[in-house]
Amino acid sequence: MRQLCIGIVFTLISTVGFSAESCPPDFAPFLTKFESSREFQRQNTHFPLAATYVDGSASPEPRTEMYMIESAADPKYSRAIYPSRKKQAAIPFEKKITSKQSVIRMVKFTKPDTDYSFAFTFEQTASCWRLVKFEDYSL
pLDDT tops 50 at residue 20: no
pLDDT at position 14 over 90? no
Mean pLDDT of 50-54: 96
Q: Is 124 left (phi over 0), alpha (psi -120 to 50) or beta?
A: beta
Q: Determine what percent of the chain is predicted with pLDDT higher than 70.
A: 85
* Architecture (CATH level 2) of domain 24-136: Roll (3.10)
Q: What is the pLDDT of residues 113-124, one digit of tens each?
A: 999 999 999 999
Closest CA to 27 of 128, 96, 110: 128
Which pLDDT score is estimated for 101?
87
Mean of pLDDT values over 95-109: 94
CA gap 82, 95 in Å, rounded: 12
Per domain, the residue ranges of the chain are 24-136
pLDDT value of position 124: 96
> How many C-beta atoms surround the C-beta of residue 94 within 10 A?
12
What pTM, to 2 d.p., does this model score? 0.81
> How many Å apart are CA 119 and CA 15, to the nearest integer?
32
Residue 71, pLDDT > 90, answer yes
